[in-house]
């Protein structure tokens, strides 16, 4: 009975995280603490979590691609440096303390989402017909290398930075940004997962159970994002960021 409850908790949390990751970002801030609470070492929890995200990304990418919301050339342009960055990130250690890092992440998340909501440079031109300047492309390559580096090491919250970069630099809508986010995230997560597998830092039973919930959540989240559009994603971003920022800063109900 205890084992059944354990797997129900893992799958249920994965389902919620899949919705959050597909509609906004930050689902790993739910799943990582849960895996650590279950007794996994931090490195194993980090690697196990990536199994679920990689499979979740496949489901979400397929849904967005069916509706023409993934620009393949832009996805590869930004995905390649992100993959390279994730390899570096998965192989280095961070010297900053957990407390300082969490506070910095919380502040960056709030700044990022406020910029998306109140100052988006969004165009209504069809995605397939847009052109981007060399300056935009070069800046994107550098930015996504560092996003990949962060995602390769921690991952939690990386989606916020991807959304911010795509809306601010390329003028994509939030729905379009989410489509590219799940594709690019899937690329670098898969590469970084290989590093964790190589070092034996994956619990496959929990990882695949979590992945089952994540994939269901990704399907539901992509459906909501595609049918409800930017307004619902903005609301979801606000709620998600507010809760996560309070948790990271240990204020409000998390004090």
Task: Give the DSSP letter of residue 128.
Answer: G
Stretch 99-115: mean pLDDT: 66
Q: Which residues contact 49 (CB under 8 A, 6 or more apart)?
A: 28, 31, 32, 35, 155, 207, 210
Stretch 182-208: mean pLDDT: 92
Q: Determine the Cα–Cα distance for residues 178 and 167; give it in Å rounded to an integer.
A: 10
pLDDT above 80 (res 93): no
- Distances in Å between the Cα of 220 and the Cα atoms of 2, 19, 21, 93, 224 are 28, 6, 11, 35, 6
* Total-model pTM: 0.76
Which among 195, 190, 196, 143 has a CA at the least distance from the CA of 169? 143
pLDDT above 70 (res 88): yes
Task: Give the DSSP letter of residue 253.
Answer: G
* SS3 category, 124: coil
Average pLDDT, the chain: 80
Of the two residues 95 and 218, the one the predictor is more confident about is 218
State pLDDT tens for residues 26-52.
778 778 778 887 888 878 888 899 999
Q: What is the pLDDT of residue 155?
A: 80
Of the two residues 196 and 26, the one the predictor is more confident about is 196
State pLDDT tens for residues 68-86.
778 888 999 999 999 999 9
Answer for the pair 238, 117: CB distance below 8 angstroms, yes or no. Answer: yes
53: tokens are: 């995200």
């Amino acid at each position: 009975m205890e084992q059944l409850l354990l797997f129900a908790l893992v799958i249920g949390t994965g389902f919620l995280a899949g919705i959050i990751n597909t509609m906004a970002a930050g689902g790993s801030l739910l799943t990582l603490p849960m895996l650590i609470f279950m007794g996994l070492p931090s490195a194993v929890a980090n690697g196990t979590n990536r199994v679920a995200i990689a499979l979740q990304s496949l489901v979400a990418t397929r849904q967005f691609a069916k509706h023409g919301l993934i620009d393949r050339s832009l996805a590869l342009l930004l995905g390649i440096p992100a993959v390279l960055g994730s390899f570096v990130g998965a192989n280095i250690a961070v010297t900053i303390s957990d407390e300082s890092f969490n506070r910095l992440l919380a502040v960056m998340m709030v700044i990022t989402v406020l910029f998306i909501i109140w100052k988006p440079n969004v165009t209504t031109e069809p995605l397939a017909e847009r052109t981007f300047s060399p300056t935009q492309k070069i800046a994107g390559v550098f930015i996504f290398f560092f996003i990949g580096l962060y995602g390769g090491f921690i991952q939690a919250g990386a989606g916020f930075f991807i959304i911010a970069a795509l809306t601010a630099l390329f003028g994509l809508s939030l729905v379009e940004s989410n489509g590219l986010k799940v594709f690019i995230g899937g690329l670098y997560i898969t590469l970084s997962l290989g590093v964790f597998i190589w070092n034996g830092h994956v619990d496959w039973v929990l990882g695949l159970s979590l992945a089952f919930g994540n994939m269901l959540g990704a399907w539901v989240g992509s459906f909501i994002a595609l049918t409800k559009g930017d307004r619902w994603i903005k609301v979801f971003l606000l709620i998600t960021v507010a809760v996560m920022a309070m948790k990271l800063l240990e204020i409000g109900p998390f004090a």
